[in-house]
Structure 1
Amino acid sequence: MPNPAASTADSTSAHTSRPTKPAKGVRSLGDPVVLTLSIGFIVAFVLLSFYDLDMVANGVSAGFAWTAITLGSYFQFLLLATFFIAIGLAVTPAAKAKIGNLDTPQMSTFKWLSIILCTLLAGGGVFFAAGEPAFHFLTTPPVLDSEPGTPNAVAGALAQSFTHWGFLAWAVLGTLASIVLAHSHYVKGQPLQPRTLLYPVLGKRLLSGPLGGVIDALCVISMVAGTVGPIGFLSTQVSFGLHELFGAPDGYATQVAVLVALGLIYVISAMTGIHRGIQFLSRFNVFLALAIGAVILLFGPTLYFFNSYLSGVGSYITNFFSMATVTAETASPAWMQGWTVFFFAWFIGYAPLMAIFVARISRGRSIREMIIAVAVIAPIATTVWFTLLGGSGVFYQLTGVIDMTEALSNYQFDVATLTVAQALPGGTWMALAILVLTTIFVATTGDSMSYSIAVVGAGHDEPSPKVRAFWGIAMALMAGILLEMGAGQINALQQFIVLTAVPVSFILLPTLWNGPKSAYAMAREQGIID
């Protein structure tokens, strides 16, 4: 997917060499180790699930529980360290260095921010935005002492949601690791793969040896586990929504129809590339989210939103460290597994491939711009969205318009989302708009992750469209097969990302010191600092 502007900028750039690309025949195949292990995992998970559903679900659950209790604090440290080091780096002169050997950005700021927001916030921000604040409103989080279900619980409920989806979560997805990958690939010519993050530690043999393929495969498997979950759950949510709104049958046939439609959208988007399909879907979704947000703000309890947001941000800042560092000793292990550790591990599992994607779309941007966009602007936009959608749920629950107690006690966030949507201004039409928004959010994750997995196999930022399509179709097929077994297997696969987050976290750990080191190297090479 060549870009004329990129070619011109590359030809005029004075910043060292451009990355080499393999021949077309090799490029279309990808790394055989990555392909074998990744496809092998998908096949093994499905076959084992066919053989013994309970064995797979119980095994994943046991590993999930052990990881949450044993390594939860380590995950929290990694996110905290990444955020503060990235912000510290952003205020240094080295942060003026440009990403990717380009002097000007490849796309406008609005398009760039749209892709970042839609890809990284994805369906999770819609799945959980309506229900999570209400859950914490009805069940007081561990570090707070407000009476559940009362006006005093609103600020803390929003603050806990901000903790899970705020600065820490976003920073690990596209700051330090993106800097390391951008410098290694666009300056040194090393492959645009997760293994490159460990090159300073393990050396040159890692780039072409089988160990590098194993590292890349672990990151791909983690991404597949984390992406198939939202794809599968979206089909159940849309099927349920169509049944409630229009009386359509809520069953496997409808779920498969949703999967097929979703797959077509994001596969075509992934094949057309960043500057066409991926960008178009992201822009469309941002405009739709802005329209929905404006309707909620203007025709809903406007003053309540402003007051709740200010008090929620205040509680978030006041309790920032206590919420981010809560442990199984101060909170119940079950709560940690269901919330903080689960989300933090989920973001860690996504991080290497997200970092690749952020580095790719940020070419021509400064390091400072990239860090501020990912670790500051995007989290603030997320907190606003959670306040509008989740705050509406809390308001309607508090005033008795709706009752989500039973749905949330059973973790039925699809029911909670639709319940809140129907209570919003516009009723059925608003609920339909939110279903469309959710679908496109998941599609923007599907297309960008299909692209990123193809990049990992190819080792450069122009992977074959056929390989992008292959991974998109593979994830949709896996979701369809697991849904036929029951939503529990989708949940088991989504929990599996917590297990894969363990090795992935050690791949990310060196970025805590190599991120700043790469930034300063880029700044010296570009003549910004001595």
Structure 2
Amino acid sequence: MASQGSNVSSPIADFKPGVFFGAIAAIGGLIVFALYDTDVATARFEAIQAFATHNFGWLFVATANVMLVTSAFLAISRIGHVRLGGADAKPTYSATSWFAMLFSAGMGIGLLFYGVAEPIMHFSNPPISSFSDPGATLPQGLARNAQHAMGLTYLHWGLHAWSIYAIIGLGLAYIAYNRKLPLNLGTFLRAAFPRIPTLVVDLVDIMAITATVCGVAASLGFGASQINAGLTLLFGAPEGGMVRAIIIVVVTALATLSVAMGLDAGIKRLSELNMGLALLLALFVFVVGPTVYLLDSFIQNLGYYFQRFIYLSTWTESYTDEDWQSSWTMFYYAWWVSWSPFVGIFIARISYGRTVREFISGVLIVPSLVTFAWMTILGDTALHIELFGAGGLSEAVNASMPDALFAFLGNFPLSGIVSGLAVVIVTTFFVTSADSGALVTAMIASGGHHEAGFVPRVTWAISIGALAGALLYGGGLQALKTAAIVTGLPFAAVLLLMCFGLIKMLLARVPAQDEAAREEALAAE
């Protein structure tokens, strides 16, 4: 980083062979398991996911809520005046570039994959809850299910997801820029809890790398499936494992090139490009689609989400024998947790000079509102087609989720051109997720160096692509979901520990210059 933020380093930050080779061994084991016997692997993946979500779903729900409450506390308290880097620190990136990079890293491919598919799936297969009407055929029941579908979509993509990223990102940025320590999770735990054993610190770093690679690999698998569906529609390309493997190889090569170019030359420019293209797609759907309906729906969806916020945030299906949440809410929370080392470190890496309040507002509130707008434009337009238009999307989405976006775009003029644009957007998000993930894993394995070397960055870019291909081949989308859940489960406990450690350090006002900066800011008010 070509700024004062790049000067934050430490002599104790160094290549950690135990962490590097331990993570490589764990990821290599997953690849071998997925490829050795695909039938056995598929069955095992399903069994593992069922066990994890059935027995530990409560942990994911509790973790997400603790992260959100802690974020709110830090934003409204006097701690919010603390500046990352000290009182004189200036932000490295403009607000636009900063937001584009954190948003591309934080959501990326998922917005394209689930933007249409999730609201339609919740509408056509509603869970048993206080606000849904399973089996509804009358207009009022269908309307209730459509509204609840958007409420659940907001829950999965809103404040809880971004609060997970905000806490881990803030904690890491604080130790890096205010305590002048390496930018990795093990170092954070050692700073917050000085007596923690070195072995535990290394294990946490191994878990962070494994969770990051699996979380990003899941996104890449979704992206490869969706690109394959788009190429089939546009050019008649066959759908299957071989085509998806080729897609992953090509995109991994592009990601390797991007990460090799570094943060400013590669990742920053690509993030700004895919945000611009995504905005263009959303604007097209908004203008050509049911514009007034979407404006009405956005306001109503926000009201529904906040009115039922506590219920939705704490709902765990306790009083039903349903297992709906294991494929949706629990998967999402696990996915966000498994992504949190990657996104948290990346956001910390680009957030030098921001105050705590500015950081949380930028990471939590703004991305959530933009995500809500995106989901409303795509999701509510799809629901409008089902409720008042030609219909047919429920059947298409239930038959193939990767095809959902293109079945949806088929209802618009210039569908071929717009579908081609969608393929390009998925590809750019694909590359951004892979290169950002590779940069972060290289940083962790190097002991927290902000500028991890060329060879480690390339190594991890290739590893992420290899794991995505292996899991997609060995167990399809189910394997990708399972990998995210299993790696996210132990890391949820780490996040809770980090949450406590962050509050402990900020309240202690260490180092002393942070206290002086806070007093100066308060006096200025």
TM-score (norm 2): 0.91
Counterpart of 2:437 in structure 1 is: 449
- The one of 142, 165, 168 equivalent to 1:177 is 168
Q: What amino acid does structure 2 have at the position aligned with 1:118?
A: S
Partners of 1:92 and 1:213 lie apart in 2 by: 33
Q: Which residue of the partner structure matches residue 107 of structure 2?
A: 121
What residue in structure 2 maps to residue 94 of structure 1? 79
Q: Which runs of 5+ in 2 are unaligned?
A: 520-525
Q: Deviations over 1:207-240 (max 9, x none)?
A: xx33322211111111111111221232222122
Structure 2 counterparts to residues 346-425 of structure 1, below 5 A: 346-410=335-399, 412-425=400-413
The one-letter amino acid of 1:36's match is F
Deviation at 1:287, TM superposition (A): 1.0
Structure 2 residue aligned with 1:13 = none
Q: Aligned-pair distance for 1:22?
A: 5.9
AA partner of residue 287 (structure 2): L
1:502/1:479 CA distance change after superposition, 3 Å: closer
Contact residue 194 and residue 353 of structure 1 kept, 8 A? no
- Shift of the 315–162 alpha-carbon distance from structure 1 to 2, 3 Å rule, reads same
Within 2, Cα distance between the matches of 1:464 and 1:373?
Answer: 29
Structure 1 residue 515 corresponds to structure 2 residue 502: yes
What fraction of aligned residue pairs are identical, expressed as a percent?
A: 26
Superposed, which structure 2 residues align to 1:408-487 within 5 Å?
Answer: 408-410=397-399, 412-458=400-446, 459-483=448-472, 485-486=473-474
Alignment of 1:185-334 (within 5 A): 185-199=176-190, 202-203=193-194, 206=197, 209-334=198-323
Q: Which runs of 5+ in 1 are unaligned?
A: 11-17
Q: 1:280 & 1:332 partners in 2: Cα distance?
A: 48
Q: How much has 1:205 moved relative to structure 2?
A: 5.6
Shift of 1:369: 1.1
Distance in 1 separating the partners of 2:63 and 2:24: 29
Q: By how many angstroms is 1:6 displaced?
A: 4.2
Task: Say if 1:21 and 1:446 are closer, same or farther in 2 by CA, change over 3 A.
Answer: farther
Deviation, structure 1 residue 5: 5.2
Q: How many Å separate the matches in 1 of 2:510 and 2:404?
A: 47
Distance in 2, matches of 1:328 and 1:19, equals 47
Inter-CA distance 85–344: structure 2 relative to 1 (3 Å threshold) = same
- Matched residue, 2:26: 41
Aligned residues: 509
CA deviation string 1:466-513 (max 9, x = no partner):
211111112212333444x35x24531431221222221111112333
Output the CA distance in 2 between the equivalents of 1:118 and 1:140.
30
The offset of 1:387, in angstroms, is 0.6
Aligned residue for 2:126, secondary structure, equals: coil
Given the alignment, which residue of 67, 82, 90 partners 2:52? 67
Pairwise CA distance, 1:523 = 8.5
Q: Is the 8 A contact 1:99 1:359 kept in 2?
A: no
Which shows bigger deviation, 455-464 or 43-52?
A: 43-52
TM-superposed CA distance for 1:63, in Å, is 2.6
Query: Are 2:153 and 1:161 equivalent residues in the alignment?
Result: yes
Let me know the Cα RMSD of the aligned residues.
2.3
Structure 2: distance between partners of 1:204 and 1:271:
37
Q: Which one of the candidate residues 12, 19, 38 is aligned to 2:9?
A: 19
The 2-side partners of 1:332 and 1:200 are apart by 44
SS in 1 for 2:517: coil
CA separation in 1, counterparts of 2:179 and 2:310?
38
Contact 1:133 1:394 in 2 (8 A): yes
Name the structure 2 match of 1:498: 485
Given that 2:282 and 2:377 are in contact with CA atoms closer than 8 Å, whether structure 1 keeps it comes out as yes
Amino acid at match of 2:127: P
Rounded to whole Å, the distance in 1 between the matches of 2:325 and 2:204 is: 28
> So what's the TM-score if we normalise by structure 1?
0.90
For residues 196 and 390 of structure 2, the distance between their equivalents in structure 1, rounded to whole angstroms, comes to 63
Displacement of 1:453 in angstroms is 0.3
Aligned to 1:100, the other structure's residue is in SS state coil
Rounded Cα–Cα distance in structure 1 between residues aligned with 2:469 and 2:74: 43
Deviates more, 1:143-152 or 1:103-112: 143-152
1:365 alignment partner, SS class = coil
Q: Does the aligned pair in 1 maintain the 2:393–2:407 contact within 8 Å? A: yes
Whichever residue aligns with residue 422 of structure 1, its letter is: G
2:422 is matched by which residue type in structure 1?
I
Query: More deviation in 55-64 or 225-234?
Result: 55-64
